[in-house]
Amino acid sequence: MVVPSLIYYLGLNPGRSSDFFSFWVVSLSGIIRTPRFYASWIAMLKGLTGLILPILAIWGAFLVERRPIRGMLIGWWVGYGLYGLVVPYQIMTHEYYSLILIPLIAVSISPLLKILIEKTVQSGRKTVVAVGLLLGLAAAYGGYASCGTLRGSDYRLEPVSWQRIGENLPEDEPFAALTADYGMRLIYYGWRMPALSWPDSSDQALFEMAGRTQEDFSSYFTAQTTGKSFFLVTAFGELEAQPELAEKLAGYPIYASGNGYTIFDLRESN
């Protein structure tokens, strides 16, 4: 499993691999020495699986009777822990970096479930039916809550909004953008790709953690926007959180604006 990965990352993509390792692993390694890292990691796990299931699953891994399987599960848990230490920022901020826990918990908790199932069967048919109904209600509640959340969100206007923004951005003119999701929705719905995604406050905090604070703002802005014709803003909350950027953009004329967006013309200043 390791050999193909090494061939791909070190043999075929050495440049990108070294950049990733330098920034995400080396520069951010100091995070693991702070209590905040472990508190944030635990909070992430709580939101993903809850805290009871991982504890029971680790307990269950030690109860596996067959020694090779027990060793494999314990090694899997240790591997997850080491993996989190290698990518500390992602493990405490991105849920999908911990998705490996879902099958790990499911397999590790099976010895405890085996004991519970055996005790339930020994208690008689009524207990089996009652437990089955209880589990069914729990599963139905989870499904109902998830569907309710999805039905409570209406995204039907988003495609039209992003299409309108795309129509107001000239096709052959490069532009910078301060927008959500690094411009992904603009790319998908509006068919316009930003030449630069301006960092938001979370990105700036990440750079500070890595010890890569930016130079003076004026020089940084000039370096980042050189060759760009426009600057799109849709994340106005982020713009308010960056007063230097807001002041700088105020010196440029507005090329187009509408509900939820403003496009500044970088080709000329007021």
Q: Where residue 13 falls among pLDDT bands split at 50, 70, 90?
A: confident
Which range in 8-17, 212-221, 260-269 is most confidently predicted, on average pLDDT? 260-269
Could you state, in order of their start, the residue ranges of all structural domains in the chain? Answer: 34-122, 125-152, 158-265
Q: Is the pLDDT of residue 208 over 80?
A: no
Distance CA 141, CA 86 (A): 37
* The pLDDT of residue 270: 58
DSSP tag of 114: H
Higher pLDDT, 6 or 173: 173
Q: Where residue 216 falls among pLDDT bands split at 50, 70, 90?
A: confident
Q: Is the pLDDT of residue 83 over 90?
A: yes
DSSP tag of 32: G
Helix or strand holding residue 161 (H, E):
helix 158-167
Closest residue by Cα to residue 203 from 42, 38, 44, 89 = 89
* The pLDDT of residue 62: 94
Q: Is the pLDDT of residue 195 over 80?
A: yes
State how far the alpha carbon of 165 is from the alpha carbons of 56, 95, 97, 189, 260, in Å: 50, 31, 33, 9, 9
Q: Average pLDDT in the 200-227 region?
A: 82
CA atoms within a 13 Å half-sphere pointing along the CA-CB vector of 161: 11
Q: Average pLDDT in the 185-203 region?
A: 91
Q: What is the pLDDT of residues 123-175, one digit of tens each?
A: 999 999 999 999 999 999 988 988 888 888 888 888 999 999 999 999 889 99
Q: Where residue 19 falls among pLDDT bands split at 50, 70, 90?
A: confident
pTM summary value: 0.76
* Minimum mean pLDDT range among 54-68, 138-152, 218-232: 138-152
